[in-house]
Chain A
């Protein structure tokens, strides 16, 4: 098989505008080279800012706003596509190279039917007649396992689920029978139980059509299922490039090893889980419209331990956190904290009640006032709860900064001057400043890169050991639950499906939902996807 895509010494730069300073050129990709043969799949992996999406778009001869391809060549079947004129590129995109974006919801025009959008590029390039294109779309809908393929094309984007939309976008990319498809994190925004279906559909479609693909993701376990080769990127440099098996089983570079061996955190569950710092009994809750979001939930967290609440989006896990903090008073049930009944509404709680229960948000960006420095962000709870001022307050802020492993040099920074992981650490310091007994962590690591998230989890565990903190850790990631929890609560559709010590909750016999959830989490193992799909087929045949 011949080379389809060849990237040589690709250099990409952008102009950054740091506040208060003159604009400066920054390099996003520094001389990356790779080849892709017909029908093969190359996985590009790396954390955010590694340049993987930028490289993916460069394969379409496209530079996102402000980004400029400054060197190297990208050849498709021997033609340097970076040297093509506008009309040349137009003949290429949507015909020979197609693109699948991360957020299909944002990529589809909400005012047009899916079927028309799927065949639009094909018609525009005059590749097929309208009837032939419709028929091809129908075949693709079938191939991708979409429900009611005959009528699917008549729906509007808001009428189908996120997973279906992502598959419709794959159909759109496959429709003109391109030589190459660039998949830019197609499953990142999906729940694990949906992700597995989309992954299976994409893999099946790639095999059926024989198209080559660049598959961009930050999840090594996902890319291991779909690619033939993997290229690891970091800060715009190629770290390691090789066949999937070599990267996963014998990584050479330290960075790759760290990625592969992540999730090395171990935390054995506490043997005695009888006492309760926070106890929620028969909690039901609804938002203003009266439609219940939580149904009769009872659970508890022992002092000094971690309760992980797991479930997919819409399962009510964040709502449960809002109930615990008093932001959403429950319609029924009671909350006990340290043996005493806690008033349901925040406004009825005393300052000390509020102090003892702190919350860490998923998005550290919006959880901190962008106009306050770290000094004020961490210092305010000190003044507010303890009346600390002046040098005593500064000393305590510095001490907290040391505890979160950042150091006092950060004290006058604004949130915008911190990285994602540092922001989350400052948010943890703000919670610690209140000297809480329980911290509710609402997906604090899901917006972070894997290695950074790892650091945050280790920090949380260390603080728990040193200060005897209790956590309620809300997440959709089973791997995190396994790593840090003492007890586990599984939520689905606003109900508590399962609750108990980790060893019992995550061991058979399972209920149907927990089983599905556990089996949908990609594992870093070649052939995992096939194995799971085969099991599913056997089970459904057996039933």
Chain B
């Protein structure tokens, strides 16, 4: 792979994601002010000292955006990775085993999917103690159902191919068949799904924070910041739009990279066409 084969869109996506991660990791050093530090008037407009202005409590918006990247990214990324690990493992087991195991797993999954996600999340989060771990687990559990659906479908698609049967006839174990024969041939749709799910996770964290059940104040996170500052819109203060724009930008960047990855894996030597 050479650098010139990476399209401009993917570079933009990389740059955006990298920026978000730099903000998240080095927040205390980059941010001009503290996360919860009150530095001026409520909704003070932007000037040379406060580049993006202040929020509803007089905290620096730029600093909070930088700190917010931390929680938002951490929660969304860990929830998505968790959802994919569990979802793919379960769905592939279901697809390869068929029969009773497939039946039980699939129906359980249907059961989970039949409850509206937001309502389920609200109920569970309201009951359970509020912590980041619980939040991540709940989001991951909900995402897992979607990953399971897709994973089972693509794995079934590949599992009926002759080369899988040939591996079974050779006497290969289930693990070999899942990881060496099936998984490499399902990467394209799964990668695309990863990008989508990551974006949805960011939105979901934001939604929950907006409703007051996500990340708790005073910790900064982008969804919560929209909520905090939404009243300002009535007075013509654009403070709520900035974290909203950050969410949109990160989502788009993730999808730009995924688009490129998708095209790359499907045009690999030996790829199965534009899956």
Chain A: residues with CB nearer than 8 A to chain B? 19-20, 325-327, 346, 349, 351, 354-355, 358-359, 361, 363, 366-372, 380-381, 384, 414-417, 430, 434
Whether the Cβ atoms of B185 and A381 lie closer than 8 Å is no
Query: B185: which of A361, A369, A416 is its contact (CB, 8 Å)?
Result: A369
Q: Which residues of B contact A354 (CB under 8 A)?
A: 169-171
What 1/0 mask marks residues of chain B from 246 to 272 whose CB sits below 8 Å from any chain A CB? Answer: 000000000000000000000111111
Most buried by A among B168, B169, B185: B169
Whether the Cβ atoms of B270 and A325 lie closer than 8 Å is no
Q: Which residues of B contact A414 (CB under 8 A)?
A: 269-270
Q: Does B161 contact A (CB under 8 A)?
A: yes
Q: Does B41 contact A (CB under 8 A)?
A: no
Closest residue on chain B to residue A380 by CB atoms: B170
Query: B270: which of A326, A351, A370 is its contact (CB, 8 Å)?
Result: A370
Distance (whole angstroms) from the CB of B163 to the closest CB of chain A? 5
What 1/0 mask marks residues of chain B from 147 to 176 whose CB sits below 8 Å from any chain A CB? Answer: 000000000000001110110111110000
Q: Which residues of B contact A417 (CB under 8 A)?
A: 269-270
Whether the Cβ atoms of B181 and A369 lie closer than 8 Å is yes
A384 to B180, CA, bound (A): 14
Query: A327: which of B165, B170, B272 is its contact (CB, 8 Å)?
Result: B165
A382 to B231, CA, bound (A): 70
Whether the Cβ atoms of A366 and B163 lie closer than 8 Å is yes
A20 to B6, CA, bound (A): 12
Given contacts A20-B267, A416-B270, A416-B271, A368 and B169 within 8 Å (CB-CB): no
Q: Which residues of A contact B166 (CB under 8 A)?
A: 359, 361, 367-368, 430
Whether the Cβ atoms of B169 and A359 lie closer than 8 Å is yes
Q: Which residues of B contact A361 (CB under 8 A)?
A: 162, 166
Whether the Cβ atoms of B162 and A367 lie closer than 8 Å is yes
What are 18 contact pairs spanning A and B, CB under 8 A? A19-B268, A19-B271, A20-B267, A326-B169, A327-B168, A346-B169, A354-B170, A355-B171, A363-B162, A366-B163, A367-B162, A369-B181, A370-B270, A384-B171, A415-B270, A416-B270, A416-B271, A430-B166
A-B interface pairs (CB < 8 A), number: 64
Q: Which residues of A contact B7 (CB under 8 A)?
A: none
Whether the Cβ atoms of B269 and A416 lie closer than 8 Å is yes
Whether the Cβ atoms of B169 and A371 lie closer than 8 Å is no
Q: Which residues of A contact B172 (CB under 8 A)?
A: 384
What 1/0 mask marks residues of chain B from 1 to 35 whose CB sits below 8 Å from any chain A CB? Answer: 00001000000000000000000000000000000
Whether the Cβ atoms of B271 and A370 lie closer than 8 Å is yes
Chain B: residues with CB nearer than 8 A to chain A? 5, 161-163, 165-166, 168-172, 180-181, 184-185, 267-272
A349 to B166, CA, bound (A): 15
A384 to B167, CA, bound (A): 11
Q: Which residues of B contact A434 (CB under 8 A)?
A: 170
Whether the Cβ atoms of A368 and B163 lie closer than 8 Å is yes
Closest residue on chain B to residue A416 by CB atoms: B270
Closest residue on chain A to residue B1 by CB atoms: A20
Whether the Cβ atoms of A371 and B270 lie closer than 8 Å is yes
Distance (whole angstroms) from the CB of B186 to the closest CB of chain A? 10
Q: Which residues of B contact A415 (CB under 8 A)?
A: 270
A369 to B179, CA, bound (A): 12
Q: Which residues of B contact A349 (CB under 8 A)?
A: 171
A507 to B168, CA, bound (A): 40
A517 to B178, CA, bound (A): 43
Can you list the 6 inter-chain pairs with the closest CB atoms, starting with the nearest?
A414-B270, A371-B184, A367-B162, A370-B270, A366-B162, A354-B171
* Besides A359-B166, A366-B161, A415-B270, 8 new A-B residue pairs in contact (Cβ under 8 A), listed by A number: A19-B271, A349-B171, A351-B171, A366-B163, A367-B163, A370-B185, A416-B271, A417-B269
A372 to B272, CA, bound (A): 12
Closest residue on chain A to residue B160 by CB atoms: A366
Given contacts A351-B171, A381-B170, A384-B171, A370 and B165 within 8 Å (CB-CB): no
A367 to B164, CA, bound (A): 8
Whether the Cβ atoms of B269 and A19 lie closer than 8 Å is yes
Distance (whole angstroms) from the CB of B53 to the closest CB of chain A? 49
A366 to B169, CA, bound (A): 15
Distance (whole angstroms) from the CB of A99 to the closest CB of chain B? 27
Whether the Cβ atoms of A346 and B168 lie closer than 8 Å is yes
Distance (whole angstroms) from the CB of A442 to the closest CB of chain B? 10
A430 to B163, CA, bound (A): 11
Q: Which residues of A contact B185 (CB under 8 A)?
A: 369-371
A363 to B166, CA, bound (A): 12
A416 to B180, CA, bound (A): 18
Closest residue on chain B to residue A350 by CB atoms: B171
Q: Which residues of A contact B169 (CB under 8 A)?
A: 325-327, 346, 354, 358-359
Distance (whole angstroms) from the CB of A374 to the closest CB of chain B? 11
Most buried by B among A20, A381, A415: A20
Closest residue on chain B to residue A349 by CB atoms: B171
A389 to B19, CA, bound (A): 45
Distance (whole angstroms) from the CB of B225 to the closest CB of chain A? 44
A372 to B163, CA, bound (A): 11
Whether the Cβ atoms of A20 and B162 lie closer than 8 Å is no
Whether the Cβ atoms of A369 and B184 lie closer than 8 Å is yes
Distance (whole angstroms) from the CB of A22 to the closest CB of chain B? 11
Query: A370: which of B168, B267, B272 is its contact (CB, 8 Å)?
Result: B272
Q: Which residues of B contact A372 (CB under 8 A)?
A: 184, 270
Given contacts A369-B185, A370-B185, A20 and B269 within 8 Å (CB-CB): yes
A367 to B181, CA, bound (A): 11
Closest residue on chain B to residue A430 by CB atoms: B166
Q: Which residues of B contact A367 (CB under 8 A)?
A: 162-163, 166
Closest residue on chain B to residue A414 by CB atoms: B270
Distance (whole angstroms) from the CB of A263 to the closest CB of chain B? 28
Q: Which residues of B contact A366 (CB under 8 A)?
A: 161-163
A118 to B118, CA, bound (A): 55
Distance (whole angstroms) from the CB of B96 to the closest CB of chain A? 13
Q: Which residues of B contact A358 (CB under 8 A)?
A: 169
A36 to B70, CA, bound (A): 76
A281 to B270, CA, bound (A): 42
Closest residue on chain A to residue B172 by CB atoms: A384
Q: Which residues of A contact B5 (CB under 8 A)?
A: 20
Q: Which residues of A contact B269 (CB under 8 A)?
A: 19-20, 414, 416-417
A466 to B66, CA, bound (A): 73
Given contacts A363-B162, A367-B162, A368-B163, A384 and B270 within 8 Å (CB-CB): no
